[in-house]
Structure 1
Amino acid sequence: MKKQLLIAMISGVFALSTVLAGCSGGSGGTESSSKGSASAAESDKVVKLNLGHILTPESHYQVMVNKLVELADQKSNGTIKITAFPQSQLGGEVKMIQSARSGTLGMFITGQAALENTVKEYAILDLPYLFDDIDQANKVLKGDVGKKYLEMLKQHDLVGLGWLSAMERNIFSTKPVRTVEDMKALKIRVMQAPGYVKTFEQLGAQPTPMSYAEVYLSLQQGVIDGGDISPDQFMMDKFVEVAKYYNLTKTHYLPALLVMSKKNWDEMSPNQQKALQEAADEALQVGIDFYKQSYAESLEKAKQQGVQIIETDLSGFKQQAEKTHESLLQDIPNGKELYEEIQKAKKQ
């Protein structure tokens, strides 16, 4: 009898432990669900994106892209694959903008001026002497003002992932430019954006329309006297061979930005969108830091190759160039309001 009672008690304990184990199955299921959520990105469909830009493989554009490729792959658990095409392999900036809007190109880097035909408000960034220096320009663009301009892209089937460094545009030439009087009648190739053309006209020069690819030979043959460009491009595109003066006129600060096709963006999962944005934020800062380093190194290399770096007297330049502001603002949607926003952001 005692033996039967003992067996019954053991059976009861076993049955109770089985019931408890069944009840605890809820917490085991939660753990499994958590793991499934953590690995959700791994189940995302692999996205392959081509990214184009116009600069050389040694540029800060490409340095940024290399980091972006690495980080996007890492943060998406291998589901975002980016292939880079530098040096206009996918076309010029305008062509890449059009391709991204139609969804045939995934990503691109462009100077802001090329987007003006798409987003009219971007022309505000063409005003001469809008910023005091590179750091100030980058600070404004990383803040609320910059975010506002990135948001403007969405209605044009584009997604702005962030701003790369503003690039300081100076005049390289066959003649020294020490004061604004030295600009008189100089034939200078500049970008065909109103803010650039009107500025150089106001400075007394003759803005000369020309594709970038023709500048080297035109300078060599005396068709033009110079152009405006950042120090790193001056060296990378070998203008050092045909222009012996690099004049620090600091006329414009041209921002670059990383842009994605909205069609391609919308096809990614939320996990992938988050991963790509985080990767872009980190990579863009790497590009900004590299540009500052390259700026200083390029000026030093130019000196070593016989180029005279001219510390131009900017007083006359600013006085003349700022006369263009009012007329330029009239052609920009909400121009005066946008201008005041930037002025306020500069002081913060």
Structure 2
Amino acid sequence: MKKQIASDKKIKIIFLTSGIGLGGVERVLLEYIKKINLNKFDIKIAFHSEKDKYFEEEIPKEIKYKYMQSLKIEQKIVELKNKNIIKRKLLREIYKKYNRYLMKKNYYSFSKDRDIIIDFKDGKYFKYLKKLSKKKKICWIHGNIEDIYNLKKEKNIVEKNFQKMQKIVCICNEMSKELKNIFPKINERNIETIYNPFDIKNIKMKSNIEKEKLTEEYILMVSRLDSKQKDFLTLIKAYKYYTTLTKDPVKLFILGEGKDRNIIENEIKFRKLDEKITLLGADKNPYPWIKKAKILVHSSNYEGLPTVLIEGLILGKIIVSSDCKTGPREILMDGKYGLLFPVGDYLTLGTMLEDLLSKNLEKYKEIEKNILEKESIERFSDEVIIKKVENMLEQVYLD
């Protein structure tokens, strides 16, 4: 007889993640917790750090959440810079040990009543829950596996940890194939491919809100200011090259905030592009910026399933993206819905920008036509994805 869940039973879930800030992973989690059926699931969220709480007010009031790391201790560790070397080293070690103790305690007490534990950040936080080894676990992978894990040193350890999971969720087909190839001992039935969910109607509605500075033409990149992953050097060099190909270059706007703002600003000044490239800072609603852009550009070295490319398709934008692992090629269907350039190839990117903006290419019209196809965005619809996730959670609970 097939197992069934009692009608009055709520499956108790906890998501473990870094924070609720500006990154794509955080926005995806928000989409899940807003749309998942709370009559069937009792949800908690364990945020690792309180530093990253940009979207905290958007968490539904029915969902309990807690920050695992003490902000006071984090601040104390920072303040140790003013101490002498011996005292600084000693106190830092004491604070770090106490901080680890508190985190393990917080993770355990907040998670022990759950039926299923989901590490939504690539499995980074399961190490704090070794006492709950018998709980059912799901690991959600959001990036290129070779970039997330130190496979040279820890491949066997990572594979053993994955074998303990009831499910491993990859957010695109390319990632699932990569996981199977790297870790052949993982049971294929435990690997699920689930795209990130998008509220298509809401994105289109928010894109109609008026913003300042939207009267001029511009190229747009929406991204966390992280030079290593997002490769702003290639973007800036490509834009500089593009300006040599045209008499009247369209400006470049970069929407986002992050730790590498100073590095990016210095590169812009070094290339003498201060009047052509603008760092707009963060905006909780990027959609009007995307909607009005002439071209949406993406220059990453690596990704998972880049959220902004899907948002660009939803808003009918011409997209130029690096052909990095993983996601862009799959989202753009091998170039049907946008152009792809080799990672780090600033000359090709600069040439593509000039070709598209001058509209010399028939490819421009072809892509514009293709984007209108329902298939380009329906595969990312929240209704389809949320149902798939709920079915998976029920299956894991019953198994």
- TM-score interval, smaller chain: under 0.3
Q: Which of structures 1 and 2 has the bigger CA Rg?
A: 1
Answer 1 or 2: which has greater helix percent: 1
| Greater RCO (Cα-Cα under 8 Å, separation 6 or more) | 1
TM-score after normalising by structure 1: 0.28
